[in-house]
């Protein structure tokens, strides 16, 4: 077998390099075995070395691909978490809308006309137009508080390393009339349309925060190693969400009741159609 391998290697050398048989083989004194010359051995070693080098390059490329895929997977997991948060808010908003659909229908039945009598009416005849069709007054909603909505919550534990634009959670519920505040997400979802008053106070070694309505800032707050507060009066539609968001990543907020978030319905309903004159 060894003689056969030696002959094969020698044949390769003869074909590729043009080495003569007398130059590439050395026979022993008995003439039974052939021994590879040093030139053939060097050539074989170079082939093996090139092959190993190529395999190492392939392995390095595969490692780079695996590392790149790991980064993409981490980014996808982060996006999935953000989508889950959005879905959770939408599900909560939908639950409030479904729970208060009957209240909304009842509210519409109590609409009245600006120049009508004390008795609520839905349609009031104002004669006919030139085509003989009846004229009607446009309706506005009753501007009274018919639904009780109020909440107040505080932070009992410190919030550390809060992310950028992350909702600040006020975990301890003091008052929650109407059950519109979620102390797991720190979000208030309006059960009815109306004008609301919101107040929040934060205690921090240094941070910035916003009062946010449907993702848009409506009031800003700067805390410089102390306690600061802000108040806002907002027109809010049923299903809108209001929360307090941290602006700069990695900030800290102190609990123990020093940080609070409160709000209540000032009056219910808004003008559905503007009446002028």
Give the integer Cα–Cα distance in Å for 270 and 143.
7
Give the integer Cα–Cα distance in Å for 215 and 270.
22
Does residue 203 fall inside a structural domain? yes
Average pLDDT over residues 11-30: 45
**Least confident window among 99-108, 215-224, 262-271:** 99-108
Q: Which of 226, 90, 244 is nearest to 170 (CA)?
A: 244
Does residue 108 fall inside a structural domain? no
Q: Which domain holds residue 161?
A: 144-268
pLDDT over 50 (residue 116)? no
Does residue 158 fall inside a structural domain? yes
Residue 218 sits in a domain whose CATH number is 2.60.120.40
Does residue 152 fall inside a structural domain? yes
Could you tell me the pLDDT band of residue 174, with boundaries at 50, 70 and 90? Answer: very high
Does residue 1 fall inside a structural domain? no
Does residue 148 fall inside a structural domain? yes
The pLDDT score that the predictor gives to residue 218 is 94
Could you tell me the pLDDT band of residue 36, with boundaries at 50, 70 and 90? Answer: low
As for how many domains the chain has, the answer is 1
Does residue 37 fall inside a structural domain? no
Tokens of 248: 């700069």
Contact (Cβ atoms closer than 8 angstroms) between residue 244 and residue 200 = yes
Does residue 156 fall inside a structural domain? yes
Contact (Cβ atoms closer than 8 angstroms) between residue 59 and residue 48 = no
Average pLDDT over residues 187-194: 94
Tokens of 178: 């109407």
pTM greater than 0.75 (yes/no): no
């Amino acid at each position: 077998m060894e003689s056969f391998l030696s002959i094969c290697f020698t044949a390769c050398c003869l074909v590729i390099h043009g080495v003569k048989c007398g130059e590439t083989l050395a026979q022993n004194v008995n003439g039974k075995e052939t021994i590879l010359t040093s030139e053939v051995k060097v050539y074989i070693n170079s082939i093996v070395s090139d092959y190993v080098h190529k395999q190492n390059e392939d392995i390095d490329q595969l490692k780079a691909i695996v590392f790149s895929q790991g980064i993409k997977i981490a980014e996808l997991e982060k996006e999935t978490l953000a989508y889950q948060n959005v879905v959770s808010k939408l599900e909560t908003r939908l639950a409030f809308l479904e729970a208060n659909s009957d209240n909304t229908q009842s509210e519409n039945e109590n609409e009245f006309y600006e120049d009508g009598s004390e008795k609520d009416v839905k349609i009031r005849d104002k004669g006919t137009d030139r085509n003989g069709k009846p004229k009607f007054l446009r309706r506005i909603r009753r501007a009274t508080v018919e639904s009780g909505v109020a909440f107040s919550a505080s932070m009992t534990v410190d919030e550390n390393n809060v992310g950028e634009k992350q909702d600040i959670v006020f975990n301890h519920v003091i008052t929650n009339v109407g059950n519109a505040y979620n102390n797991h997400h720190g979000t208030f979802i309006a059960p009815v349309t109306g004008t609301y008053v919101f107040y929040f106070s934060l205690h921090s070694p240094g941070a910035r925060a916003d009062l946010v309505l449907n993702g848009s800032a409506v009031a800003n707050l700067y805390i410089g190693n102390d306690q600061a507060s802000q108040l806002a009066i907002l027109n809010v539609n049923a299903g809108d969400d209001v929360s307090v968001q941290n602006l700069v990543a990695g900030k800290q907020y102190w609990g123990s009741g020093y940080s609070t978030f409160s709000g209540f319905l000032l009056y219910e309903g808004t003008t559905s159609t503007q009446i002028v004159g």
